[in-house]
Each structure stands twice: as C-alpha cells, then as structure tokens.
Chains A and B, each alone.
Chain A
C-alpha cells in the first residue's frame, strides 16, 4: 500500500507491547515492506496504537493535537474520530485493509473528503499489493541482513547468516513434590528397599515422574530381542491365504483378559483394584488416576512369560482394597514412582506380549480400519515403525495387510500395533462414509529434508 508519492505509508508505533512492536517491525521490514515503513513520530503520516496496552487511550488523547490518523489495534471494537479499528488477532489481510482505509484519512492523499470511520471491521481479500509482497518468499522479510543477522530469517533465500548472540536457555523447573513415605501397612512386596534410595528422589529437580516402560536395550541385539517378544517373528503371508496360514491368538487365555476385566470392575466400582498372584506379585489398578502400581518389572523375562503364556484365572486373585488400606497404598504408589505406570502404557505392553505379533482370532482380515487417535507414543513401549503405522492409518483406512504394503514393512509390526491400539480403543471400523484425501504434493517435496531431520534428531538411527 503506497502513499501518494509511491512510497510505503510512514507510520509511528505508539503504545504497544514490546512483543507486538517487534512482530510488527519485522513484518514491516519484510512481507509488509511495501505497505508500511516505521518512522519517528514527527515523520509519520499515520499512527498505530494498541488499545489493549495500558495507557494507550491516554496517549491517543495526547497525540490528538498532531492530527494524524491512527490504526487502532484492539480485541474490542473501538470507534474514535480519525482512526480505523483493526481487531485482534492481527492478520496481514487486516493490516492491508486498514492501510487502504487509512489512506482516505490522510490529508496528503488528495482525497476530497475523509472517509467515515468504519463502524464494523469487515476483513476483505488481500489486495494485489499485499499478495505481491507476501509472495515475495520473505515471510519474515529480513532480506537485507548482511550487516547483522536476525533470528527472523528469509526463508527460501540464500542464507549464510548465523545467530551470533544466543542467550542461555531458561530452564523451567516445576515445583518439587515431596511425598512423605511410610511403609507401614503397605504390602511388603511393594515396599521399596529402604537401603536403596529412590532414583527420582535423588535428582534435585525431581517431581512426580512415573516409571516408563522403556525398552531395556543397551545395544541393537537386545533391542531386537525385545522386539521379537513384542512383535513376534511371524513371516509375512499372502492376504489370499491368510485365513489358513496366519497365526492367531485368543486374548481370553492370557493375563490381558484378566487385567481388562479387573479394570472394568474397578471403573464400575470407582475404586482401585488389585490382582494378586501366586508369586506374591501384584498389580494395583487405579482407574480414576489412569495409573498402575505393580511389583513386576515390566521389561523382565518373568513378566513377559506371565503375559505371553496362557494363564489360569484361579492363579490370580482379584481384590478390592478396603478404605482402611487405601491410604497406605496411595502413599506407596506416590512414593514408588519407579513401579507406578501409566495405565495405557501397561495395557499396551501386556497386549503386545500376549499378541506376540499375532492378530486376535476374531479379527476380520478384510475389514478396513482407521486409527481414531494416536497412542501416547512418548509413554508406551516402542515397536518398529510405530510412528509410520500410526500416521498412515490415521490418514486413510485400510486392512492390516494394506498398511504393511503401503509402508513396505513386516506385517507382524502392523498386527502388533493393531492389536494393542484396539485394546486401547483407538481403532475404528471404516464404514466407507468419508472420502480421504492424502496430502501428497507438499510432503513428497520435503521428504528428503524430513528424513534428514529425523536422522539428525534420532542420532542417525531409525525409529
């Protein structure tokens, strides 16, 4: 938006927060370069003022005598003489529109009469001028950074600048939560050995951090062993012959079924519920908190065997703790973070160990499925290609075989994912009512860069 002399509108920024001032200045230096130019108050043709900023209205009154029109930024409508109101959040289109309107208020424009103040702001399509500016591939516009680099860069242009004055990171430290720990009346098996300090309590900035079921791998071989436990070793089969050749499993035979039943009971009763095992191990389900407290090491061979071997229900006792027992249990699980886990993460692991890369016997192999929501992948145990499976399956529906084919990955990984995600209620049958469009063009354009970014973040390794 040029003024009568063909130059950008000269503006002065009055009361405005430092954040907004910086953003506007950068915008005016780049994409908005042809619209506005920030000058001193004396040289300005018009003023920009943030009416949500303390003291703005007073400053506007004080500047009234210099008789320069103003662009007023505010979340609420402001109607004042010789001004244009631009509602927040600000957009480049709104600023363009305001520039058009304010020009009619400038005495230098030669306009016969000043335009009336807009009663209501009506955003319009960006003008050709703005589009030209916006399309100049300088979203933050600092194309002339030869003298000094800026943190706001000129995307798509050659960029040899680097940030020269970084500031140290400001770490956010959450409040320390220290729990009184008393072991009295807590089942012995769940009491932490007092001779061993709790890892979480040793760190100065510890706050309640629950145990993660992270893969206990120290090397690639151990990782592969763990993945064999979680996803099995079943070779791919032809979908045409899958009904006869595919290995399946029956969840009812495993700990998984008992766990789900107990969880349901606990939810219905609105109370914690315990599973007590012959081995004196136990699992305490806390449905209201979505937590599980257990004596088991979830990555141990012992737990793997418990999960992937058919189990007799009589070997496990369901127990609802009395109200007298609950305080002690609560103290225990709050103190013993190492053995307290997110409910979803334990269900995920138990299901994977039971499934062992096999599908539930009841699954319709020709059914197309869709992932409704991603699993909580920062807290559930990792399996190969888990992110890619989640992403692909959320974008478009497919059978378990489709997904493996799309991604060119072993079927057992998809079977494992499907089974665990189903138990968490994250899968939905595709009813064919919705058409799915893939974001194909842009992603492929960036595939190489995305791949390099992932490798960089993951330290050169795979998922």
Chain B
C-alpha cells in the first residue's frame, strides 16, 4: 500500500526560529545535521552534513507531512526550486529584531516567488515582543508592495499554538472548504 507524502517548507533568515518552529509541531525529534549520507555519497564518506532541518507529522500509517527548514545562513546558495518540489506551501519566518526584516521579506518572497504563486505562503514574525517596531501594519504594507496576499501573524516559534496557527492559515488559504 502506498504512502502519501506531502511537504511544508519553512524558510527565513538565520535566527528567525525555523528549527524551533519545526520542533514545536514535529512528531519526531528534529533532524538537523550530520545525518547518514545517502547510498550514493556513502561511497565517498560515511556521513555528510545535511543541509536542512527536518521534522515529520504522521497522519496514520499512510500519510506523512514532512517539514523542511532551509538553512537560513545560506541566503544566496540555496537551490530553491529543487527544495520546493512537492511542497504544499511555504512558511516564512521573519525576525523582527533584525536590521532590515523587510529586506528579508523581499529576498525570500522573490526567491520563492514561483512557488508562492503556485501554492501559498504564510508569514510569521518572531521576536515582536522584544522589538515592537516594525509592526504588523508595516509588514502588511510591504506585502502590498510585493503584490502578495498572505496571512501574516506575530508568532513565538516555541509555541505550538502559534506554529499550528500558521499551518492552519496555510491550509485554509489553499482550501477554505476544509473541515477540521
């Protein structure tokens, strides 16, 4: 019997909380780096550094939702289109304490533009309790400038409720007819 696999991508700058967010809703302890290499690379060395954070949500025996976090420090290095293949949506986490979070928003929405247009993005802004400005109104203006419609919430990446809300918003944006 085949298994259905879906994938949600978490992206954003380093320190925005991607790893923590995935951990907050994953069924498994998050997989970070230095995992076993694939069969192919095993011939070269037994271990390789895996680029992404990884989590998993089991939906019974036959359905899984995989949670991938992009390496935030590799802003210009990532193979965005390859990463998003098979993805159902993008969760962009922004750190409100960074110097220019709007630049981060522009960068990531541009990098994932095609995927966002095909699927859906939701935005979570972290650390707003530490740094109140910019506020959500400012972020909404930025989304308008980018001509992107996306839910944007203040989140605490450690909060399962907050990250669940982001996933909820993502799924309902894809299909408001879902019944939960």
Residues on A lying within 8 angstroms of B by beta carbon are: 17-29, 31, 37-38, 40, 50, 52, 75, 88-93, 134, 139-140, 142, 144-145, 147-148, 150-160, 163, 165-172, 174-175, 177, 207-210, 289-291, 342, 344, 372-374, 376-379, 387-388, 390-392, 394-395, 406-407, 439, 442-444, 446-447, 449-458, 461-463
A166–B23 Cα gap in the complex (Å)? 11
Output the least CB separation between B176 and chain A (Å). Answer: 4
Residue in chain B with minimal CB distance to A151: B54
Count chain B residues whose beta carbon lies closer than 8 angstroms to a beta carbon of A. 98
User: Which chain B residues border A290 with CB–CB below 8 Å?
Assistant: 132, 135, 137
User: Which residue in A29, A88, A159 is a CB contact (below 8 Å) of B38?
Assistant: A29
User: Which chain B residues border A457 with CB–CB below 8 Å?
Assistant: 25, 57, 164, 167-168
Are A373 and B162 also in contact (CB < 8 A) when A27-B79, A38-B44, A166-B30 are? no
When A and B form their complex, what is the total count of cross-chain residue pairs whose Cβ atoms lie within 8 Å? 289
User: Do the beta carbons of A23 and B79 come within 8 Å of each other?
Assistant: yes
Residues on B lying within 8 angstroms of A by beta carbon are: 1-7, 15, 17, 19-20, 23, 25, 28-42, 44, 48-52, 54, 56-60, 63-66, 71, 74, 76-83, 85-86, 88, 111, 120, 124, 127, 129-130, 132-133, 135-137, 140, 143, 149, 151-159, 161-162, 164-169, 171-180
| Binding site secondary structure of chain A | loop
Are A444 and B151 also in contact (CB < 8 A) when A92-B79, A166-B28 are? no
User: Which chain A residues border B49 with CB–CB below 8 Å?
Assistant: 18-19, 21-22
User: Which chain A residues border B133 with CB–CB below 8 Å?
Assistant: 289
User: Do the beta carbons of A171 and B174 come within 8 Å of each other?
Assistant: no
User: Do the beta carbons of A20 and B5 come within 8 Å of each other?
Assistant: no
User: Do the beta carbons of B76 and A52 come within 8 Å of each other?
Assistant: yes
User: Which residue in A25, A92, A171 is a CB contact (below 8 Å) of B158?
Assistant: A171
User: Do the beta carbons of B5 and A155 come within 8 Å of each other?
Assistant: yes
Residue in chain A with minimal CB distance to B56: A163
Q: Given A52-B76, A391-B173, 15 more contacts at CB 8 Å? A: A18-B49, A21-B49, A25-B40, A25-B41, A89-B77, A91-B82, A145-B38, A166-B30, A167-B30, A174-B127, A207-B129, A344-B136, A373-B143, A374-B151, A453-B171
For the complex of A and B, 9 pairs with smallest distance between CB atoms = A139-B85, A443-B175, A18-B49, A454-B180, A169-B23, A391-B172, A19-B51, A155-B86, A392-B176
User: Do the beta carbons of A453 and B59 come within 8 Å of each other?
Assistant: yes
